[in-house]
Structure 1
C-alpha cells in the first residue's frame, strides 16, 4: 500500500472514530438528561447504547492513532487528528440543527487550511523514492 493511501485511509478512520465518539457522547447526554448525582442518572447513562458507541469510538481512535504514529510525522499527524472538530461541527448543523457562529466557521477553515499547509510542507521535505533494480 502506498504511503499516501495509508495516510488517507488512516486519517479517515481516525476522523470517523473521533466523530463517532463525540456524537455518541452528545446523544448519550441528550437521552440521559441533565446531570444529577444519583444512581438513577448513572444507570440511565450506563444502559444507554450511545455510551458504548463512545467507548468503541475511543478504542478505535486509540488503535488508529497508535498505528498512524508509527509511520506519520508527528507534526502533521497531530494537526490532522483535529479534523474531527470540523466533522463534528458539520454533523451538529445537519443532524442536531445547531447554528454556527462566524468564529466557528473561521476556526474550521483555519484547521483545514493549517492541515493543508502542513501536509504540503511535509511533502516538499520528503526524500524522493529510491529506485530498486
Structure 2
C-alpha cells in the first residue's frame, strides 16, 4: 500500500472513530437526561447503547492513532487528528439541528487550513 493511501485511509478511520465517539456521547447524554447523581440515572447511562458506541469509538481511535504514529510525522498527524472537530460541527448542524456561529465556522476553516499547511510543509521537507 502506498504511503499516501495509508495516510488517507488511516486518518479517515481516525476521523470516523473520533466522530462516532463524540456523537455517541451526545446521543447518550440526550437520552439519559439531565445529570442527577442517582442509581437510576447511572443505570440509564450504563444501559444506553450509545455509551457503547462511544467505547467502540475510543478503542478504534486509540488503535488507529497508535498505528498512524508508527509511520506519520507527529506534527501533521497531531493536527490531522483534530479534523473530527470539523466533522462533529457538520453533524451537529445536519443531524441535531444546531446552529453554528461565525466564530465556529472560522475556527473550523482555520483547523483545515492548518492541516493543509502542515501537510504541504511536511511533503516539501520530509524528515
Q: Unmatched 5+ residue regions in structure 1?
A: 128-133
Per-residue CA distance 1:48-91 (angstroms, 9 max, x = gap): 00000000000000000000000000000000000000000000
- Give the distance between the partners of 1:34 and 1:68, measured in 2 at CA: 37
CA RMSD across the alignment: 0.7
- Give the distance between the partners of 1:79 and 1:42, measured in 2 at CA: 35
Q: How does 1:91-106 map onto structure 2 within 5 Å?
A: 91-106=91-106
Q: How does 1:78-89 map onto structure 2 within 5 Å?
A: 78-89=78-89
**Hey, which bits of structure 1, 4+ residues long, moved more than 2 A?**
none
- Give the distance between the partners of 1:60 and 1:47, measured in 2 at CA: 21
Is the radius of gyration larger for structure 1 or structure 2? 1
SS, match of residue 126 in structure 1: coil
- Give the distance between the partners of 2:80 and 2:29, measured in 1 at CA: 27
- Give the distance between the partners of 2:37 and 2:3, measured in 1 at CA: 49
SS, match of residue 92 in structure 1: helix
Instruction: Name the TM-score, length of structure 1 as normaliser.
Output: 0.95
Q: Unmatched 5+ residue regions in structure 2?
A: none
Cα distance, 1:126 vs structure 2: 2.6
Aligned to 2:67: 67
Alignment size in residue pairs? 127
